[in-house]
């Protein structure tokens, strides 16, 4: 399954402190959640078949093109999971089957006055990033391969490598595994058009009920450099998922490490 054929969805607020650091907590002030630590909602970043700006395939593996207009863009280091979408008789989502994962850069512009999250998420080709390989998911629950993985990120600027996001275990996600899956299904079926959020079931219908989704499941908190520095042309971005039981969160490649490396244009 090619990424171009999948609907692209993201999770907002699934790591502690990210929304505060990104200056986006105010956007969600009227969004009610069942639990204080629950994510705020899901949003589209790519809608295959759409004639809107979200219909432009925005995911790249080696380059990130900044917007032509002046914008404050930040790396959002995430894990992207490929899910098979299982529909019921009335096209409702009844299950999500996690198949594989990779690293993802849900690069975001900090745009004043944006009414929807999606308005900050895509501005054309090469505005997102995806890792250099996929890791098969044996089971999307504790005891599986994802238990062992950490996520870290860096930006190299003027020859100096800076930590951009904190190094975090995937088990540090607020919602993960079955809890995340059940929450995603509920939001894909019932999330309403409200504030910065959109009706995802309407997007699924407009995309002719795609069989798969690429879902970026939330950005880590920022390290000091990431919190205070927007991307510049010439920067190099690294988003890395690594098996913490056998390797380090660095730029050295391995069979089990997933590295996203983008040059900022």
The predicted-structure confidence for 138-173, as pLDDT tens digits, reads as follows 999 999 999 999 999 999 999 999 999 999 999 999
The closest alpha carbon to 119, from 194, 198, 184, 48, belongs to: 198
Confidence band, pLDDT 50/70/90 cuts, at residue 115: confident
CA torsion angle 215 216 217 221 (round to 10):
-170
Handedness of CA 101, 102, 103, 106 (dihedral sign): negative
* Strand bridging mode 63-64 / 258-264: parallel
What are 199's strand-pairing partners?
A: none
Cα–Cα distance measured from residue 107 to residue 122, given in angstroms and rounded to the nearest whole number:
8
Confidence band, pLDDT 50/70/90 cuts, at residue 16: low
Torsions phi, psi for 60 (to 5 deg)? -135, 165
Per DSSP, the three-state class of 109 is: strand
Give me the pLDDT at residue 254, please. 96
Torsions phi, psi for 19 (to 5 deg)? -65, -40
User: CB of 175 within 8 A of CB of 186?
Assistant: no
Per DSSP, the three-state class of 179 is: helix
CA-to-CA separations, 219 to 15, 106, 148, 172, in angstroms, rounded: 6, 8, 18, 11
Confidence band, pLDDT 50/70/90 cuts, at residue 23: low
pLDDT, tens digit, 9 for 90 and up, residues 198-226: 999 999 999 999 999 999 999 999 999 99
Per DSSP, the three-state class of 208 is: coil
What are 247's strand-pairing partners?
A: none
When mean pLDDT is compared across 69-73, 125-129, 145-149, 187-191, the lowest value belongs to: 69-73
Tokens matching residue 24: 């986006």
Q: What is the mean pLDDT of residues 18-47?
A: 70
Angular region, 177: left φ>0, alpha ψ -120 to 50, beta rest? left
Q: Tell how far CA 28 is from the center of its chain.
A: 18
Q: Where are the beta strands (DSSP E) in 115-257?
A: 128-130, 135-136, 149-157, 160-169, 212-216, 236-243
pLDDT reading at 22 higher than 90: no
pLDDT reading at 18 higher than 80: no
Residues whose CB is less than 8 angstroms from the CB of residue 249 and which lie 6 or more positions away in sequence, other chains included: 150, 152, 167, 240, 242
Q: What is the mean pLDDT of residues 118-135?
A: 93
* Strand bridging mode 212-216 / 7-12: parallel
pTM: 0.93
User: CB of 187 within 8 A of CB of 175?
Assistant: no
DSSP state of 171: G
What are 108's strand-pairing partners?
A: 74
Q: Please compute Rg for the chain using Cα positions.
A: 17
């Amino acid at each position: 399954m090619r990424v171009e054929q999948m609907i692209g969805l993201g999770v907002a607020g699934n790591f502690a402190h990210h929304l505060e650091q990104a200056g986006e907590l105010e956007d969600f002030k009227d969004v009610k959640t069942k639990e204080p630590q629950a994510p705020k909602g899901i949003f589209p970043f790519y809608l295959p078949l759409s004639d809107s700006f979200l219909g432009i395939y925005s995911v790249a593996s080696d380059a990130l093109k900044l917007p032509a207009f002046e914008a404050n863009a930040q790396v959002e280091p995430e894990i992207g999971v490929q899910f098979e979408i299982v529909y019921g008789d009335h096209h409702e989502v009844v299950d999500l089957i996690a198949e594989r994962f990779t690293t993802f850069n849900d690069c975001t512009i900090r745009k004043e006055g944006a009414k929807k999250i999606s308005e900050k998420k895509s501005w054309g080709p090469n505005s997102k990033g995806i890792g250099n390989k996929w890791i098969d998911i044996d089971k999307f629950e504790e005891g599986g391969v994802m238990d062992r993985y950490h996520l870290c990120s860096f930006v190299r600027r003027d020859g100096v490598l800076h930590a951009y996001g904190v190094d975090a275990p995937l088990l540090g996600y607020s919602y993960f595994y079955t809890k995340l899956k059940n929450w995603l299904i509920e939001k894909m079926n019932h999330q309403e058009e409200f504030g910065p959020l959109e009706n995802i079931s309407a997007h699924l219908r407009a995309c002719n009920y795609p069989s798969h989704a690429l879902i970026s499941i939330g950005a880590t908190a920022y390290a000091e450099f990431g919190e205070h520095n927007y991307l510049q042309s010439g920067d190099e971005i690294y988003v890395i998922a690594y098996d913490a039981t056998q390797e380090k969160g660095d730029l050295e490649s391995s069979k089990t490490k997933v590295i996203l490396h983008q040059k900022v244009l």
